[in-house]
């Protein structure tokens, strides 16, 4: 498919448009520059809870123009009988300019014409010179690229983000968190994911992981089905199966997780997102849970959105810096912590209810505020130490353990500000007031009897940036908590904004590759300053409880 797209910003006053809105207009032509009448133009918001897609048709001069659109990022898809569909993503709309497009529809014949390009004519880095397709709507199955340097010739600091990446292979130290029973921490592991195109638009992402530690093995496989081919658009179905052995003579964890999510636009201003997950897991015994979730978002004014959410955890963001391949890999460790209570296995739980309002201050910044309620009957507590109590689920490679801290209930509030300072630098600032488990001064024999919900304040800040030329990506964050806390303070907000307690750092360094693909070294460091440790003495023994564990996880990633 040959797609030429020129995006221009024309300073035209939008007198009749609402505040913080703009328009998209353009012309659709064939490779010879002839305007095409009757082409279908579909304009979709790239925001997760954006308005319903808008469908337009070009006039007799090949032109189209939208109504006033809320400021933000949009995707444009153009189709016409006899031509290959054209797609343009990340088209920015703001209240200062009208966005003008020129979209060139290509065909199989026009693609073959490019094979006769003169040898001295420059070739664009993202130009496809020949595409073989199973049908007009499916992805390419064979591509010829007019690049004498070859796909693998990547210079220092360059990346192949413009090339389609269908697979990923990771060599790492295992799970991110001690006490994880779905993926053993500190154990060398290999993980993979592959993106398979099915039908005209569907995608199936298959992911797997195995640990080759002799003393404690772990294996998992997951599948993520996207009928629409795009995350955040249409339904998503996920199935995950895992088995892990906690030491040579330890417990054997087995688990199954199935989830389904979908979303639709009820009206132009109201959108609904819903889903559920079913979990079955256990050691010797078995426990199960069905956890529905839902969200209703209302566009109350241009640049203003209100939402009501009931869920156990946030939805995964459809647009991430690491893409859908990383999202599928994250699914492998998506089990909640499995605990032991009164001799039987139980799953850590938590019901989160939230009312939030978000305001887009500009195309690069937004402010949100929320009030919420958290309820948990089996609150996971992570600590370090050893005990003969069977309710301490001990990690084989370290002194870390997982423990059922009992019930917790609290009401809280959160304010978050996000801004994109530059194309490669963005920041996040979050303040929260909520409850978390903390020592209550009781000297009871059982550890959970020494814990109670206490209200705390927290202030977190994060920055993500990419170093020009070298391509080094890093994410640094710090979250301060006003007092002792041994369970997560606003766990939903932490996951939503990727702000864990205390100082955390993630670094990704692309490497020159001699083979087709993209290779990078990864390093994740958690709680570098070892803050927040709370020593407790009880009849269960002397232990140190931590809301955020100190860890280092490194590895090598290859995308191809």
CB atoms within 10 A of CB 289: 15
Reference 503, options 535, 474, 534, 525; nearest CA is 525
CB atoms within 10 A of CB 117: 13
How far apart (Å, rounded) are the C-alpha atoms in residues 395 and 88?
49
How far apart (Å, rounded) are the C-alpha atoms in residues 528 and 552?
9
How far apart (Å, rounded) are the C-alpha atoms in residues 190 and 171?
5
CB atoms within 10 A of CB 345: 19
Q: Where are the alpha helices (DSSP H) in 97-207?
A: 108-113
Look at residue 176 in the predicted model and tell me its pLDDT: 53
Look at residue 316 in the predicted model and tell me its pLDDT: 61
How far lies 479's CA from each of 457, 489, 494, 507, in Å?
Answer: 10, 10, 9, 18
How far apart (Å, rounded) are the C-alpha atoms in residues 345 and 249?
18
How far apart (Å, rounded) are the C-alpha atoms in residues 72 and 92?
6
Query: Pairing mode, if any, of strands 72-79 and 40-45?
Result: antiparallel
Mean pLDDT in each 10-residue stretch from start to end of the chain (560 residues)?
Answer: 38 45 88 87 78 86 88 86 81 78 73 45 39 32 32 33 65 59 62 84 86 75 86 84 79 88 87 93 88 94 93 64 67 82 90 95 93 95 79 78 91 96 93 95 80 96 92 94 94 91 93 77 89 82 82 81
How far apart (Å, rounded) are the C-alpha atoms in residues 447 and 404?
9
Would you say how long the chain is, in residues? 560
Look at residue 466 in the predicted model and tell me its pLDDT: 93
Domain ranges of the chain: 4-116, 167-559
How far apart (Å, rounded) are the C-alpha atoms in residues 545 and 534?
5
Spatial neighbors of 559 by CB under 8 A, at least 6 apart, are: 165, 167, 168, 169, 325, 517, 518, 519
Query: Sign of the CA dihedral 220, 226, 231, 235?
Result: negative
Cross-strand bridge partners of residue 374: 352, 410
CB atoms within 10 A of CB 441: 7
Look at residue 408 in the predicted model and tell me its pLDDT: 94
How far apart (Å, rounded) are the C-alpha atoms in residues 495 and 351?
14
How far lies 25's CA from each of 8, 16, 181, in Å?
Answer: 10, 16, 53
What H or E segment, with its residue span, contains residue 331?
Answer: helix 323-331
Quote the tokens at residue 31: 């490779």
How far apart (Å, rounded) are the C-alpha atoms in residues 43 and 69?
10
Quote the tokens at residue 100: 């003008």
Interior angle at CA 254, CA 337 and CA 350, nearest 5: 25
How far apart (Å, rounded) are the C-alpha atoms in residues 448 and 379?
10
Q: What is the DSSP letter of 493?
A: H
Cross-strand bridge partners of residue 264: 272
CATH of the domain spanning 167-559: 2.40.160
Architecture of domain 4-116: Sandwich (2.60)
């Amino acid at each position: 498919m040959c797609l030429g797209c020129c995006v221009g910003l024309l300073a035209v006053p939008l007198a009749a448009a609402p505040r913080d809105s703009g328009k998209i207009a353009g012309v659709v032509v064939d490779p010879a520059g002839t305007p095409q009448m009757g082409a279908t133009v579909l304009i979709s918001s790239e925001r997760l809870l954006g308005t319903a897609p808008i469908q337009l048709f070009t006039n007799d001069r090949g032109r189209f123009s939208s109504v006033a659109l809320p400021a933000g990022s949009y995707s444009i898809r153009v189709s016409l009988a006899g031509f290959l569909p054209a797609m343009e993503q990340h088209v920015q709309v703001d209240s200062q300019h009208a966005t003008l497009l020129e979209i060139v529809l290509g065909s199989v014949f026009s693609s073959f014409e490019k094979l006769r390009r003169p040898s001295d004519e420059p070739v664009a880095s993202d130009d496809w010179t020949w595409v073989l397709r199973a049908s007009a709507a499916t992805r390419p199955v064979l591509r010829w690229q007019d690049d004498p340097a070859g796909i693998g010739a990547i210079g220092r600091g360059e990346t192949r983000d413009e090339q389609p990446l269908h697979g990923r292979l990771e060599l790492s130290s295992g799970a991110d968190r001690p006490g994880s029973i779905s993926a053993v921490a500190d154990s060398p592991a290999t993980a993979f994911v592959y993106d398979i195109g099915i039908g005209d638009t569907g995608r199936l992402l298959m992911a797997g992981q195995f640990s080759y530690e002799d003393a404690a093995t772990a294996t998992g496989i997951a599948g993520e089905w996207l009928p629409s081919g795009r995350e955040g658009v249409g339904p998503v179905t996920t199935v995950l199966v895992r088995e892990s052995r906690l030491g040579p003579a330890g417990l054997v964890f087995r688990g199954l997780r199935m989830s389904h999510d979908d979303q639709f636009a009820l009206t132009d201003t109201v959108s609904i997102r819903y889903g559920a997950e079913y979990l079955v897991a256990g050691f010797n015994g078995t426990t199960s849970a069905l956890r529905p979730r839902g969200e209703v978002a209302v566009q109350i004014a241009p640049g203003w959105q209100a939402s009501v959410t009931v869920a156990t955890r946030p939805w995964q963001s459809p647009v991430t810096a690491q893409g859908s391949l990383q999202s599928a890999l994250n699914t492998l460790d998506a089990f909640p912590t499995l605990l032991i209570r009164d001799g039987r296995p139980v799953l850590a739980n938590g019901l989160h209810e939230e009312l939030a309002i978000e305001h887009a201050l500009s195309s690069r910044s937004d402010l949100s505020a929320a009030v919420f309620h958290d309820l948990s009957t089996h609150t996971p507590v992570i600590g370090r130490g050893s005990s003969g109590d069977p309710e301490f689920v001990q990690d084989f490679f370290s002194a870390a353990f997982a423990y059922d801290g009992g019930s917790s209930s609290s009401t809280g509030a959160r304010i978050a500000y996000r801004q994109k300072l530059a194309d490669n630098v963005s920041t996040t600032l979050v303040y929260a007031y909520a409850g978390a488990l903390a020592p209550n001064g009781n000297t009871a024999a059982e550890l959970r009897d020494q814990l109670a919900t206490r209200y705390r304040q927290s202030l977190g800040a994060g920055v993500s940036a990419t170093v020009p030329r070298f391509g080094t990506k890093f994410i640094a964050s710090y979250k301060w908590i006003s007092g002792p806390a041994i369970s997560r303070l606003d766990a939903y907000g932490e996951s939503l904004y990727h702000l864990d307690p205390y100082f955390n750092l993630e670094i990704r360094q692309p490497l020159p590759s001699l083979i087709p693909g993209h290779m990078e070294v990864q390093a994740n460091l958690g709680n570098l300053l070892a803050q927040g440790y709370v020593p407790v003495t009880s009849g269960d023994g002397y232990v140190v409880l931590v809301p955020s564990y100190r860890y280092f996880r490194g590895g090598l990633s290859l995308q191809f």
